[in-house]
Amino acid sequence: MRLAILRTGQTNAAIRASFPDYPDLYENLLNNGASRIKGSFSFRYFAVFNGEMPADPDEFDGYIITGSAAGVYEDHDWLKPLFAFIKKCDALQKPLCGICFGHQAIAKAIGGEVVKWADGWGVGVQDMQITAHADWMPKTDKMSLIYFHQDQVIQLPEGAKKLATSEFCAIGAFAKGRHIFCLQGHPEFPADYSAALLEAIREKVGDSRTEAALTSLSEHTDAQEVAQWIADFFLQAHLASTDKTPIKTA
């Protein structure tokens, strides 16, 4: 499958020399993390934050919208074209996966609501309780991932279904039909990258939450399992669009 990575951000400047940028993180997530179907995807990257966008939703088989330091409610020239593209993909039922900011951008573009959370940052390894299962998800009751966010989706778009929740973040994942899958967490962030990023944004997050988050990074996450969910989401959507029998999740 040909996937386009819509880059709405990049690795923090303070750690960029020591760690991969977003393209490598996402390619590693799907072609190495999703081991059962390793090598199933090819990628092209668009620096949306620099005004790059695909010409048409049908140019690729699916799209991933990345995290970003920006907020969906801010005034950036690239946000309106991104929201318009998301709406087109939704109308065409073109597969879209949103991670963190991408989760928020997709929700807002198709009718949801996103706010800066009054209780501050959610960072480090956190557990989400699974509230519903999409076709590409196994029957599990929780999801543990690394989180970096201050903004939250507080209202789902019409027709969307909440998939995961926690005390801190009520809407931690959602789906719409078989063509949209969004996650607030970061399955693509490894622990060492996350530790360096926490130190880089310590002043914003606060010392207490930063220290707790750093300690949490030694805990297990379901990043590899979630990588498989994302891969299966794209493959099922692609097979469904060509009238083939969908694959079954593990």
Active site residue 238: no
Exactly one of 100, 182, 225, 238 is catalytic; name it.
100
Exactly one of 89, 169, 188, 225 is catalytic; name it.
188
- Within a 13 Å sphere around the CA of 77, how many CA atoms are in the beta-carbon half? 6
First-to-last alpha carbon distance for the chain, in angstroms, is: 20
* 122-130 and 142-149 strand pairing: antiparallel
Exactly one of 179, 186, 225, 238 is catalytic; name it.
186
CB neighbours of 248 closer than 8 A, spacing ≥ 6?
none
CB neighbours of 12 closer than 8 A, spacing ≥ 6?
69, 197, 200, 201
Q: Which of 156, 155, 174 is nearest to 165 (CA)?
A: 174
Active site residue 100: yes
C-alpha 232/C-alpha 250 separation (Å) is 9
Q: Which of 98, 110, 214 is nearest to 157 (CA)?
A: 110
C-alpha 105/C-alpha 108 separation (Å) is 5
Active site residue 186: yes
Cβ neighbour number for residue 59 with a 10 Å cutoff? 12
Backbone angles phi, psi at 54, to 5 degrees: -60, 150
Q: Looking at this protein, which amino acid is placed at residue 65?
A: I
Catalytically annotated residues = 100, 186, 188
